[in-house]
Amino acid sequence: MLAAEVVGVPGPAKNPATALGEQRYIVRFVEAPVASYRGGVPGLRATAPPPGTGQRLDVDSDAARAYRNWLARQQQAHLDALSNRVRRTIRPERAHQWAINAVTVRLNPAEAAELARFEQVAHIERDRALPLTTDYGPEWIGADQLWEGISAATAGERGEGIVVGILDTGINFGHPSFAATTEDGYTHTNPLGSGNYLGWCDPENLNYDASYACNDKLIGAWDFADAAWEEESDGPEDNQGHGSHVAATVAGNPLSSATVQAPTVSLSSAISGVAPQANLIAYDVCAELCRTSDVVAALDQAIKDGVDVVNESIGIGGDIFRGAKQQAYLGVLDAGIMAVRAAGNSGPGARSVDTEPVWTASVAAASHPRAYINRLVDFSGGDDALGDITGASLTSGYGPAPIVDAADAGDAQCLDAFPAETWNGEIVICTRGEIGRVQKGDNVAAGGAGGLILVDDGSGLVADAHVLPAVHITAEDGQALRQWLATGSNHQGAIAGTTITADADTADVLAGFSSRGPLNVDVIKPDMTAPGVAILAAVAADGGNPETYGVYSGTSMASPHVAGAAALLRAIHPTWTPSEIRSALMGTALPDAVRTETLAEANPFDGGSGRIDVERAARSGLLMNESVVDFAAADPTTGGDPRTLNLPSLQDAACGRQCSWRRSVRSALGQSVDWSVSYQGDGEVAISPSSFTLGPGQERSLQIDADLSRVDQDAWQFGRLAFENQAEGVPGFTMPLAAFSASADTALEFEQTVDRAAARPGDELVYGFRIAPFFSGDYRLSDPLPEGVTLDETSLSAGMSFDAVSRTVRWSGSMDGGALVLGSTDNPPVSTYQSLADFGVDAFPVPDNMCDEGGVLINGLDFRFQGRAYSELIWSVNGALEPGRESLSAVSANNQSLPNPQLPALIAPMWTDMIVCDSGALRVAIVPLDSNEFYVFEWDQVPLFDPLANAEPLSFQVWIEKGGENFWFVYGNVILGDWDEMTVGAQFAGGSLGELLYFNGAGTLPASGDVLGGGSSVDSQNLEFSVQTDADRTGLIINEALLEDESGRSDSLRTWTQVELPLFYDRFEQP
């Protein structure tokens, strides 16, 4: 029997017109935008600021105006030529010249395919609709120390003169967080001149509306979003709350009392933005969802408006290097603007971070000291006493009252409103998942519940404001509560009611929702961590009352902390480039502070460099810069290597046993300082030079060499470089490192085990080894026995020997390599495609928020791949299967070439960007044929998300032999037209072996009716022997074995056993 659960990156609901017909496309042309133009057109001077100077693009210069006018003429010429190609006039909805040289136009798929071949078109992509992704926050990241001045001789810095652009849902114009004069009497200075405003606040703008009243704090507001997919605008007023919350967190005015009016309770706290005296411009880019074309238009306008920092807390999608939004951010960087983005809310699974551009700051979310704590108290009944349970919420107290489980009413997750009088004031237990948390409170309240206990699913606690008294508790506490409920009778308890606490011990815990790395290119993402849980800030006006507040959680709340920090740094260090600002924030962050949601130590894929401390960043002694030219050249699809980028982090997904990087640091100080560099973490890393002296402005290039030959194979290894100095007031500087210790040239898989982690003197220990080479050759195992053990030579597996002089167990032998074949047409189980629907198999239900980028974890399987037995796999909407669940996430829409060391094991019949939101179906069945059984996974009439050509919906299957290692790709209707962004292939985990039939235009695409067979195998050798611990041996026994192949490649593994005398004897062991 198969079981399933939904996994992967939640995708947004799509515009209903997702299949064929006319759609909105972003067409990027080959010429550089104004921000990136470095000359070359006769008669037109370069406009890009000189690299490494921190200078901003001068949008009012004669050169910028002249080049922009020329670019507009070029765009029109290109559009005329494109119109001739499709035999109709193409009129742009928008034209962009500042951040990106592109137009937004309406095309049908055939026209889009035709335009993609035009030599003046650099890239074309269909518009995407993406989801949106403080009181103690500023203090926790050190902003308050900058407000008071870094030192007695330094004036306080609150962001004066800095303009921050907020790309979000608009802004609450009337909120005191955005008033021109603060409650303590500070009056903001308008950099445009008092009374001069931008966008809809500008009387000369065609959309001017006096009801949108800007001021000397809020100096502009634009609306680029269409309301609810209609061709009309709803103005820049925030009607959702998200944008106001973000803007207030970045630069909201200090307020002595911000009151949250929850349905059952009111709570107050003082709040302030991180850069409270910075100016703001609001760019409304979201209606129902947030379209890429609207964000690109806002970024283009932000350059023209002269902002210093932009914040976007929205998903991204598209290609990491070539996507329209990514390219617009490259132009933003070239213009000298610091860009900050939320890392996403799709955690905690690996590879859940979005396709973040490597040139922006990407921010993870963690808790901070202030928390909204609620508790379950006064338990009675049951067989055993139950202690208080601490959770989170924003509600009043209730009870004591009877406690019941919604599962007893047939709906453990409380997915639907319960019938009236289901309960009469009881406190009802619900399990988190499937629908919104607050909706569950509504559903039990409809049934007469007096309170709610929401049991978490591992995603992390959130302080929600429910319509009834409620508390959100951990999964572990929920299990204990339900176990108590299963005993005795008369179970009662009370909800204590929310209290606001300030406890440093609760801070810096990563939110379960915060997206994790690794990224699909060799750059660590997220970059850094900031507070993003239970953040109190302004929200949209409630009716006629603009002074409203909300408590929100998300990476959307974390990124504005970093944007505010960047504004402070821009004010203090106006010559620092955006990349240098990012390096200061990352290098001086606190890596040890951050813990995962399970309170384990976080690694760089969880929280990047650590939690930022802007006061330390302002004093950073080292900076790192990278040019836009080098960023663009690092695109791996054009032969670039992201590992070469001069970033304050180090990643290599194909490190194998050794890998290297080069980095360059520059002194930010006015005096000479001696620096030393060391490595802390997995493996061995050498840095040259390991010590050096830097004078003012001097640079030093560093060689970093990692040796992972003595760490576990087939795993990510983590650590960090630590730069230390003895200068007064100069903080240390760190760089996180992540390297994978297996790669495409890894010769083998080597596993070592011991049957006991703890033992007593005289006990027997059994050591086991599994050798599974990917390549044929001769292999040698040597295992020097640790002190304090005696070998039982009769236990040696066949072929093993013992050298008594060196006390070493040895084995050697020739082994066949692993095999992965694909494309065979021999002995298929079926000769043609036939839909499972014809046999009455129902479509698999995929939730709306998973129908684009999501997938399904299927359990209860029995098959083999790469020599391993698997009982589960991840089935992706996007045309691929992952044996096992290593990634905890479905493959993304951005298909990759295979083998790829950054990807898990994959079977990819047609990996491309598909969607089952509005049409198409996924089906799965066990099909018996003759004496065999097969697992059949079907994509039935599934359309491409972006039908760039006249492609028809795709139908294909993967048949997997139950209990075996064979599989088949069975193709039904695969009419693709001109579409070529697709991968057909398979690979072992980590890219150790791979077969590629087709990738993005290269190779042979399968045709309708094809049946292609595949299979994998790995020759393996299992060995073991036993030893007896000496009667007087105590302490830790470490056994380290070495396996080598004929080319000199090696693996070294260790096992540990702790041998201790017993603390007590039972009555049968008493001496």
* Residues noted as catalytic: 168, 242, 556
Rounded Cα distance between 300 and 165, Å, is: 12
* Gap between the Cα atoms of 316 and 260, Å rounded: 31
> DSSP assignment of 302-364, as one string?
HHHHT-SEEEE-B---S-TTTSHHHHHHHHHHHTT-EEEEE--S--SSTT-S----TTSEEEE
Is the Cα dihedral 313, 165, 247, 129 positive or negative?
Answer: negative
Counting beta carbons within 10 angstroms of the beta carbon of residue 1017, is it exposed (0 to 12), middle (13 to 18) or buried (19 or more)? middle
Residue 578 amino acid letter: P
Helices vs. strands in the chain: H and E counts, helices first: 14, 61
Q: Which of 601, 586, 616 is nearest to 526 (CA)?
A: 586
Tokens linked to 75? 């765009």
The CA-based angle 962-967-972, given to 5 degrees, is 115
Q: How far apart are CA 717 and CA 651, in angstroms?
A: 10
Whole-number Å distance between alpha carbons of 631 and 650:
15
Q: ∠ CA 488-491-496 to the nearest 5 degrees?
A: 150
**Which residues, 6+ apart, have CB-to-CB distance to 304 below 8 Å?**
59, 98
For residue 511, how far is the Cα from the chain centroid? Answer: 12
How far is the C-alpha of 499 from the C-alpha of 375, rounded, in Å? 9
Residues whose CB is less than 8 angstroms from the CB of residue 761 and which lie 6 or more positions away in sequence, other chains included: 1029, 1030, 1031, 1032, 1033, 1034, 1059, 1061
SS3 content of the chain, % helix, strand, coil (to 5): 15, 35, 50
Residue-wise burial string across 451-478, b where 16 or more C-beta atoms lie within 10 A, e elsewhere: bbbbbbeebbbbbbbbbbbbbbbbeebb
What is the longest distance spanned by two Cα atoms in the chain? Answer: 100
C-beta separation of 523 from 356 below 8 A: no
Give Rg (Cα) of the chain: 30
3-state secondary structure 475-524: HHHHHHHHHHHCCCCCCEEEECCCEEEECHHHCCEECCCCCCCCCCCCCC
What residues does 1 pair with on adjacent strands? Answer: none
| Residue 506: φ, ψ to 5° | -90, 0
CA–CA distance, 581 with 612 (Å, rounded to integer): 12
Here the tokens at position 347 are 């955690």
Residues 6 or more apart in contact with residue 668 via CB below 8 angstroms: 573, 576, 580, 584, 620, 621, 622, 623
Question: Taking the CB of residue 225, how many other CB atoms lie within 10 A of it?
Answer: 26
Strand order in the sheet with 699-707: 622-623, 658-667, 699-707, 684-688
| E strand or H helix at 719 | strand 716-725
Q: How far apart are CA 872 and CA 3, in angstroms?
A: 9
CB distance 269 to 536 below 8 Å: yes
